[in-house]
């Protein structure tokens, strides 16, 4: 089983700010969220996370060996990192959502994110065939992974909602992934 866990809440999340590569810690609410999520999930065999502090702190809530894999790092929002969505120019936001080859200034394209996440998914799929693997990541890579599991492309990710510390489960015991759940909220 592959269990994708979005990191717990940070001050930027609480403030409604885009948070790409900025490396903010979990706030108190986020720390409580991840404690409850790890408790609800229970025993796992392996935890993989991005190197950002919010993902590493979430991964640390699980009692299992940890690996860092930056293919799971958040999309680089470039100059929009740390901004409220309402400040992002409407034309740029529209292009970002409709064109996977668009990158914000100094940022990353969704196509690039998709390529690295699909590569990571192919590897973790094999691991998760015989063990329970938790991947702690961020909203964009997790939505890309769900799109991969559904056989869709990266544009599908814009139609998936994920709360902070939400869980998605993907069964990996067949010849292809099977999505079991999306956006499970285990901390309420």
Q: Mind listing the pLDDT tens digit for each residue in 15-54?
A: 999 999 999 999 999 999 999 999 999 999 999 999 999 9
* Banded model confidence at residue 184, pLDDT cuts 50, 70, 90: very high
Per-residue pLDDT, averaged over 133-138, amounts to 99
**pTM score, whole prediction:** 0.97
Phi, psi of 160 (to 5 degrees): -115, 135
Q: For residues 162 and 63, what is the distance between their CA atoms, to the nearest angstrom? A: 24
Provide the CATH number for the domain around residue 132: 3.40.50.1240
pLDDT tens digits for range 71-110: 999 999 999 999 999 999 999 999 999 999 999 999 999 9
The number of domains in the chain is 1
Query: Range of 48's domain?
Result: 2-184
Q: For residues 4 and 165, what is the distance between their CA atoms, to the nearest angstrom? A: 10
Question: Average per-residue pLDDT in the chain?
Answer: 98
Radius of gyration of the chain (CA): 16
């Amino acid at each position: 089983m592959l269990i994708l866990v979005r990191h717990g809440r940070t001050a930027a999340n609480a403030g409604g700010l885009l948070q790409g590569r900025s490396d903010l810690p979990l706030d108190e609410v986020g720390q409580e969220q991840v404690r409850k999520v790890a408790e609800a999930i229970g025993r796992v065999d392996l935890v993989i996370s991005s190197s950002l502090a919010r993902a590493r702190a979430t991964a640390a809530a699980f009692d299992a060996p940890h690996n860092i894999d930056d293919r799971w790092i958040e999309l680089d929002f470039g100059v929009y990192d740390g901004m409220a969505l309402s400040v992002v120019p409407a034309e740029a936001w529209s292009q970002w959502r409709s064109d996977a080859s668009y990158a914000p200034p100094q940022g990353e394209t969704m196509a690039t994110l998709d390529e690295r996440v699909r590569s990571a998914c192919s590897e973790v799929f094999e691991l998760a065939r015989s063990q329970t693997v938790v991947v702690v990541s961020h909203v964009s890579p997790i939505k890309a992974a769900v799109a991969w599991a559904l056989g869709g492309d990266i544009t599908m990710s814009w139609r998936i909602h994920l709360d902070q510390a939400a869980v998605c489960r993907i069964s990996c015991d067949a010849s292809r992934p099977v999505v079991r759940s999306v956006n499970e909220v285990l901390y309420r």
